Structure 1
Amino acid sequence: MPKKRFEGEYLLTGLIRCPECGAAMTASRTVNRSKDGKKITRMYYSCGRFRSQGSAVCHANSVRKVEAEQAVTDRIRQAVVNPETLQRVVRSINERRSGRMKPLRDELTAIQTHITSLEDKKRKYLELYEIDNIDRNMFSERLSVLHKELDSELTCTSKLELELRDDQADPVSYEFVCFHMTKFDALLRYSPFQQRKTLLHLIVKNITLDDKRRIEEVELAFSKETQNHFLSGAPSVKSIAEGAFSCSKDNLLLNQVITIVI
């Protein structure tokens, strides 16, 4: 592991973007002394380009660590339990499911047509072989090629039929999405630092600041990877968060990315 430049728990390193140049903001701090000589450490997120290349390329544009992290986690907590946001998520999931079906059906129809054509060829070769109008070696070679093509197309057919069957299931309900999103809220509240940091880096795509260095937008992306990591495979870490990670395989979210800007 690389050595830390500063001690401290920085949740958002690399996620916040500099409002001036767009570079990722990294951990920084200042150390001062009060009138009575007591050391005071203040922690910030500052422009990574400024820290590595100096004022010729950008400025510090520092934002206080505590305020930034509080603003981001508060927004996420509000978003994952907000009925209007969750309804948008439900609509997005179900629209994507229905939108996927037509191209899948078209592809399945094309493959089935090709399989029929291959079966016809196979039947003709057999007829030619039976009346001794085709060389044995040529027959074996062509039949082998046909079998490989048929096996490949049948495998594709099985996969497409499985996808269609999954997409034709009942629409994802509001209650189902709400159940999963509130588990993210529990994770944000009760998990240890490293687990919360991993969660944020999985679900937060981007954090932008306005011209006054306040949190402007937080872009979230919930995917199968996020769910598998936190709702299936990870153990609970505190009794208060029991159940926050449990999720049966039958209730997994779809294999697609759901993006929310808050």
Structure 2
Amino acid sequence: MSVISLKRFDGEFRLTWLIRCPQCGAPMVANRTQNRQKDGTKINRLYYSCSNFRNKGSKVCSANSIRKHEAEIYVVDRVKEVIAKPNILKAIVKNINERKKKRIKLLQQQLDHIISKVTELEGRKQIYFDLYEMDGLDKGMFSKRLDDINSELDRLHAQKMELTLELKEDNVEPVSYEVVRLLLDKFDKLLDSSSFDQRKTLMHLIIKQITIKDTRTIDQIEMNFDENTVHHFLTADPSAIHAEGSFAVQMKRRLKGQSISIVI
């Protein structure tokens, strides 16, 4: 098979690398089988199959194939269903905000614990200084204990900085139902109006990953929207600049420096 036909074959698959194997978690890739009927007619069947199985064989994983056409139709239909049924989308947005709230609470508890530990170590450090000045500790012992405390303080300060950044990212206004609805609606409209290559690019831009069940049916579609998403939307559909409530202005303001992740 030539390189050109291989590329064409792979290009037929919009969801390559997006679907995850339910057994090992590896990306699913293009697979094609050919069956011969009793009358001699050949039938090509297209699937997404585990990349580990395709590259390394059955010792590593199984094919866990899922039919190409059914998977791609399901993704598009699921987006349309969520847009068409506000109660579904509202439940999704509510779940996002509840999970976000729980995560913020957990991060804050971890940060408070670290701040408490830092305060305790700083106090212990002062005690050692006082003892040393009163000749209660020899120089060697003083240096060792100080080094141990400073090492632990460095570790805690690094964790504190990391947690503070995570809290800053998460501690933004709750995800808006209307924003998610507009983003999904724009995604859906572009899927309908774009060429095949544009639809594939769009799916790979928006969809983070697709998980499937052991029954080889789609379980969840994880999507992510950020400033790059809005830029792509406007490039693909310049009319969006003047669309519903000025889509461009709303989205750029809402998504500046952050992203919205949803699971449908």
Normalising to structure 2: TM-score of the pair?
0.62
C-alpha change, 1:86 and 1:145, in structure 2 (3 Å) is: same
Amino acid at match of 2:259: L
Match of 1:90 in 2: 93
Match of 1:259 in 2: 263
1:17-76 deviations in whole A, cap 9, x for unaligned?
Answer: 9xxxxx98734689xxxxxxxxxx987525869xx99xxx99x9978x5x8745642432
C-alpha change, 1:134 and 1:191, in structure 2 (3 Å) is: farther
The answer (yes or no) to whether the contact 1:206–1:218 under 8 Å persists in 2 is yes
Match of 1:45 in 2: 46
**Number of residue pairs matched?**
231
* C-alpha RMSD of matched pairs (Å): 4.8
1:120-159 mapped onto 2 (5 Å cutoff): 120-159=123-162
Task: After TM superposition, give the deviation of residue 87 of structure 1 in Å.
Answer: 0.4
Q: Tell me the SS of whatever aligns to 1:219.
A: strand
1:128-171 deviations in whole A, cap 9, x for unaligned?
Answer: 22123323343233323322322321232233344445544432
- Which of 175, 188, 191 is equivalent to 1:188? 191
More helix by share: 2
Q: Tell me the SS of whatever aligns to 1:26.
A: strand
Q: Tell me the SS of whatever aligns to 1:138.
A: helix
The answer (yes or no) to whether the contact 1:10–1:27 under 8 Å persists in 2 is no
Matched, 1:221 2:222: yes
Please say which structure displays the higher CA radius of gyration.
Answer: 1
- Which of 103, 106, 114 is equivalent to 1:103? 106
CA distance in 2, matches of 1:148, 1:62: 55
1:104-138 deviations in whole A, cap 9, x for unaligned?
Answer: 23322322221122112110111122123323343
Match of 1:231 in 2: 229
Normalising to structure 1: TM-score of the pair?
0.62
CA distance in 2, matches of 1:112, 1:199: 44
Name structure 1 gaps, 5 residues minimum: 18-22, 31-40
Name structure 2 gaps, 5 residues minimum: 22-27, 36-41, 242-246
CA distance in 2, matches of 1:219, 1:78: 14
C-alpha change, 1:78 and 1:47, in structure 2 (3 Å) is: closer
Q: Tell me the SS of whatever aligns to 2:256.
A: helix
Task: After TM superposition, give the deviation of residue 94 of structure 1 in Å.
Answer: 0.9
C-alpha change, 1:163 and 1:10, in structure 2 (3 Å) is: closer
1:148-201 deviations in whole A, cap 9, x for unaligned?
Answer: 322321232233344445544432221222232223224423445345325445
The answer (yes or no) to whether the contact 2:227–2:259 under 8 Å persists in 1 is no
